[in-house]
């Protein structure tokens, strides 16, 4: 099936309340498109291309990747690279493309971790898959206790100085390691732009020091899994669909996680609050995550244009009253469904 030449919507920037990343000059949409689990070779390329086009038309100019996103690893970058070449050559300077390295990507001692060799080689491979000469943000994906932090941050500094990345980021770092990383980068002359942690109503660890840390450092947050991989949607209220992650033996969720009494009681309570607000549960969960000024953007995947549009529509109603926050607190319990 063919697809027409792409002409972006002229109104794409008119209704998005962009957020500044920390104390930097970078601005991101409240909802960004994360390509973690919905952008591999098992997906129809035309569907993916349609989703990316629609996202950009709705003001989403940030697309988040990592070297190992797929499946298989690397295929998400290849898929997006193809779309960029087809539709976005004239709009590259409007886009914020991010990638990461830190988890297992290839065999041997240099296919994982935080060494200079792994990070810079991985970045080169990512750029080749994406068909780009630079990414806008390059992250170290996780802490690596076996590699000196000075070496890892030195690799991020080199990525920026070489022009292969414009900004440096970290992901899944503790508050203490975030401070250390930021100081090392500052001493090298490359500021830490952004931190990418997981955060949702059922996973609230960032409230234990990280929010205050990034606020003091002037660093932004790009939070992932704000919908807790579908647990904070209406997907599991009536049972476990056979097409869901929880139904698959190799998925990132298990059926046990979504059939427990605690989970069902809490997600039903949150759904009632969302209904009172005229929102879906997913939209409430996103608005709740974005209530902190430190959160620059929430990364959300999409398997269809409809799902994408529903998530982005959250920006039309982000304000939460004190009464609503108090009601939510009863059900937004850290560790639910683990």
pLDDT in tens, 102-157: 999 999 999 999 999 999 999 999 999 999 999 999 999 999 999 999 999 999 99
* Average pLDDT score over the chain: 94
**Cβ-proximal residues to 277 (8 Å cutoff; 6+ apart), any chain:** 284, 317, 324
CB 257 within 8 A of CB 263: yes
Tokens 């949607």 sit at which residue? 233
How far the first Cα of the chain sits from its last, in Å, is: 42
Q: Helical H runs in 163-304?
A: 175-188, 210-217, 255-259, 261-277, 281-289
Residue holding tokens 């690279």? 81
Structural domains of the chain, ranges and CATH numbers in brackets = 19-229+291-318 (3.20.20.100)
Contact 181, 211 (CB under 8 A): no
pTM for this prediction: 0.94
Q: Which residues of 119-146 are buried (b: 16+ CB within 10 A; e: fewer)?
A: bbbbbebbbebbebebbbbbbbbbbbee
At residue 257, the pLDDT reads 63
Digit-coded pLDDT (tens) for 204-234: 999 999 999 999 999 999 999 999 999 999 9
Q: Residue 49 corresponds to which tokens in the numbers above?
A: 């291309």
Dihedral angle sign, alpha carbons of residues 328, 329, 330, 333:
positive
Distance, in Å, from the CA atom of 150 to the CA atom of 156, rounded to the nearest integer, reads: 10
Mean pLDDT of 26-45: 96
């Amino acid at each position: 099936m063919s697809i027409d030449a792409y002409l972006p919507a002229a109104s794409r920037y008119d209704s998005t309340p962009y957020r500044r990343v920390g104390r930097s000059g970078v601005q991101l949409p409240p909802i960004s498109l994360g390509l973690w689990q919905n952008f591999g070779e098992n997906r129809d390329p035309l569907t993916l291309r349609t989703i990316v086009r629609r996202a950009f038309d709705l003001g989403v100019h940030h697309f988040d990747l990592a070297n190992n996103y797929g499946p298989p690893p690397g295929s998400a970058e290849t898929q997006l690279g193809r779309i960029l070449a087809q539709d976005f050559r004239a709009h590259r300077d409007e886009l914020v493309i991010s990638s990461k390295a830190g988890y297992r990507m290839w065999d041997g001692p240099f296919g994982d971790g935080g060494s200079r060799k792994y990070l810079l080689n991985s970045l080169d491979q990512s750029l080749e898959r994406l068909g780009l000469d630079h990414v806008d943000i390059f992250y170290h994906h996780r802490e690596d206790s076996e590699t000196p932090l000075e070496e890892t941050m030195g690799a991020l500094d080199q990525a920026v100085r070489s022009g292969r990345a414009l900004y440096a980021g970290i992901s899944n770092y503790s508050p203490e390691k975030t401070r250390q990383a930021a100081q090392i980068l500052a001493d090298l002359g490359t500021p830490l732009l952004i931190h990418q942690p997981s955060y949702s109503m059922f996973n609230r660890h960032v409230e234990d020091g990280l929010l205050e840390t990034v606020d003091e450092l002037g660093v932004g947050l790009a939070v992932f899994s704000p919908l807790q991989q579908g647990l904070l949607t209406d997907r599991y209220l009536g049972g476990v669909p056979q097409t869901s992650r929880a139904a698959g033996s190799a998925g990132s969720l298990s059926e046990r996680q979504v059939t427990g009494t605690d989970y069902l009681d809490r997600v039903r309570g949150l759904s009632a609050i969302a209904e009172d607000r005229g929102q879906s549960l997913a939209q409430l969960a996103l608005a709740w995550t974005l209530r902190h000024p430190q959160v620059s953007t929430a990364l959300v995947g999409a398997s269809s244009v409809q799902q994408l549009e529903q998530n982005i529509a959250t920006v039309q109603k982000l304000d939460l009253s004190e009464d609503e926050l108090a009601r939510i607190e009863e059900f937004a319990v850290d560790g639910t469904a683990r």
